[in-house]
Structure 1
Amino acid sequence: MFLILSICASTLIFVIFKVVGKQNINTLQTIVFNYFTAFACGILSYEAPIVVTDVIQSKWFFGAIFLGFLFVTIFNVMALTAQRLGLSVASVASKMSVVIPIIFGLFAYNENLGLQKALGILLALVAVYLASLKAKSNEKFSIKSLWLPLLLFLGSGTIDTTIKYVETTFVPENGIPIFSASIFLIAGLIGIGMLSAKAIQKQFTFDPKSLISGFILGIVNYYSIYTLLKALNADNFESSTIFTVNNVSIVMLSTLLGLLFFKERLLLKNWIGIGVAVIAILLVTSA
């Protein structure tokens, strides 16, 4: 159930960004306000008394700082990749990064990799690639531009791996809300720094609509992380299974929603990718 909720919430994030772009709402301001809304959700969901010194002294706090920095940095790398090389390159680079937490899980947690699961993971990567391909565009690709998708690939994989490691090693079961809230607060403070820099350079104009979009995005964003952490905390599934099903399902569902609500045209290879994704999920979850 938590995995299904995480998939739905993560897919809804892409839908919100699509709407934000169509309505010409300031994306960066939406992102910053989203982080503070997500922080508030975490605080409200935490049932124990909040003692700031205890939070700072928690074993997971430095992991939260690292993740907060990554959240903001990798989002900007994703934006640059999409702008310079196209959405398909950005999508493939971010979702193919699922191999990093899977490999980490195999070695760090002694997770099993049978022939069936290995085949499912390979098919999942093929599915992500096929589902993300779009019609040829005029964007120019060069060897020099490889650093962007490579950085996005490594950054996205590092985020998933760090979340899993910190959550299982340092975060108590009732500590997920405050852990998530801390990540979002740190990311929000870094975002404020970015907006302040723009204001100093006289490149800042407040967009009131970004408050509303940031509020909606923040609620969805918080629960996408919260439900993923709860899913990773389940005993009946290994992290390699969770990450594979999560990433492939998000690509598959967002592709279908793009077709239904945004009139995006799917190529034959996209439909093949969705079919391969279904097979991959069945193989991985039944292994």
Structure 2
Amino acid sequence: MLYLTLAILTSTAILVLFKIFPKYDIHILQAIVVNYITATALGFAIQWDSFSVNTVVHENWFLYAIVIGCVFIMTFQVFAYSSQTVGVAITAISSKISVVIPVFVGALLYANESLSLLKILGLGFAIVSFLLVFNNNANFKINPRFIFLPIILFLVNGMNDTIMTYAQRKFNGFNTMLFISCVFFSSLVVGVIWLIVNYFALKQKLLFRNIIAGILLGIFNFLSTYYFFKGVAVVESAVFFPILNVGIVSLSALCGYFVFKEKLNLINWIGILVALGTIVFIANV
């Protein structure tokens, strides 16, 4: 459970950084691109002695890394746009309940995984905790024109987790560090193209504060992805994904309360308690 715990901590740190960014007027796309430069550089620097372009492109996992990298940055952008158009709560809920996709796919594909009634119950508790934690006593009003955004986020996020898990299981014993370095490089290429388009279309210059923000984001993004792959290799999907998502949601809510002085109503606190209970329940199923 060590890698799972570290994945929760580093993933929460990423959310905290995104919370801080508006205070310093950080341009999100610029920070995301620098984040991928940092993460790619870290990965290849660690693997420099064994790195060879010719070897990497002929690895049987190379195309998986390219696909995952493209989906990575697309998920970031869909999440940001959905938050702005349909609201943070609906966006966060659709992102987190996507946990059902890798869990059910894992039960279908992997012989060593099973989806018992207790695990399904634990997954249900996890989804309930998401709904309670993100409840803000407001009526959710979604513009029908943008209803597709949370749906796309649900599918893309779930697909991304599923592909990453599949790659880890299919190529068990592969060079994890080199794999995630290629994932980040793929995201970087897409991000740079996006950034260039923004520069010529909107005349947005790369600012120093965005570089610093991107470096910090890249360090935690690299670590969270590395711990994800190490954790999902030893913990079955029906346990790993619910605990990961519930852990991130509850820890993020607590950070918001204690660090950013965000208000939590009674329903939110009940949601956090349900989340903590869910972690204990699933871990012992």
TM-score, normalised with respect to structure 1 = 0.95
**Post-superposition CA distance 1:5-36 (Å, at most 9, x none):** 10000000000111111211111110000001
> What's the counterpart of residue 182 of structure 2?
182
**What amino acid maps onto 2:36 in structure 1?**
Y
C-alpha separation between the residues in 2 aligned to 1:47 and 1:104? Answer: 35
- Conserved in 2, the CA contact under 8 Å of 1:106 and 1:112? yes
Is 2:128 the partner of 1:144? no
User: Which residue number in structure 2 is paired with residue 15 of structure 1?
Assistant: 16
Q: Which amino acid aligns with 2:40?
A: F
Aligned to 2:31: 30
1:229-248 to 2 correspondence within 5 Å? 229-234=229-234, 237-248=235-246
Q: After superposition, give the CA deviation of every residue in 1:211-260 in whole Å (9 maximum; x if it has no partner).
A: 111111101000100001001111xx312101110011000000000001
Query: Structure 2 residue aligned with 1:260, among 258, 261, 275?
Result: 258
Residue equivalent to 1:124: 126
Distance 2:161 2:84 in 1: 24
Separation of aligned partners in 2, 1:79 and 1:131? 20
The answer to whether the 8 Å contact 2:86/2:147 transfers is no
> Which amino acid in structure 1 is aligned with residue 132 of structure 2?
L
Distance 1:4 1:48 in 2: 30
Report how far residue 47 of structure 1 moved.
6.7
C-alpha distance in structure 2 between counterparts of 1:222 and 1:152, whole Å: 22
State yes or no: 1:278 paired with 2:279: no
Structure 2's unaligned 5+ residue stretches are none
Q: Give yes or no for contact 1:101–1:161 (8 Å, CA) kept in 2.
A: yes
Query: What amino acid is the match of 1:29?
Result: Q
Determine what percentage of the aligned residue pairs are the same residue: 35
Q: What is the DSSP-based 3-state SS (H/G/I as helix, E as strand, rest coil) of the residue aligned with 1:201?
A: helix
Aligned residue number for residue 247 of structure 2 = 249
Larger mean CA deviation between 243-252 and 71-80 belongs to 71-80
Q: 2:72 corresponds to which letter in structure 1?
A: F
Which amino acid letter does the alignment assign opposite residue 158 of structure 2? G
Q: CA–CA distance in 2 between the matches of 1:202 and 1:47? A: 37
Q: 1-side partners of 2:212 and 2:273: how far apart? A: 37
Task: After superposition, give the CA deviation of every residue in 1:17-73 in whole Å (9 maximum; x if it has no partner).
Answer: 111112111111100000010111111332751110111111111111111111111
Aligned to 1:172: 173
Q: Are residues 104 and 6 of structure 1, via their aligned partners in 2, closer, same or farther at CA, if it must alter by over 3 Å?
A: same
Distance 1:60 1:171 in 2: 11
Partners of 1:171 and 1:179 within 8 A in 2: no
SS of alignment partner, residue 8 of structure 2 = helix
CA distance in 1 between counterparts of 2:84 and 2:159 reads: 22
What do residues 105-136 of structure 1 show as CA deviations (whole Å, max 9, x unaligned)? 11001322222222111101111111122242
Runs of 5+ in structure 1 lacking a partner? none
Q: Kindly report which structure 2 residues correspond to 1:154-173, keeping only aligned pairs within 5 A, or say none.
A: 154-170=155-171, 172-173=173-174
1:112 counterpart residue number: 114
Are 1:119 and 1:283, in contact at CA under 8 Å, matched by a contact in 2?
no
Q: Say if 1:120 and 1:279, in contact at 8 Å, map to a contact too.
A: no
Partner of 2:217: 217
CA-based RMSD of the aligned residues comes to 1.4
Which whole-Å CA distance do the structure 1 matches of 2:117 and 2:75 have between them? 33
Shift of 1:202: 3.8
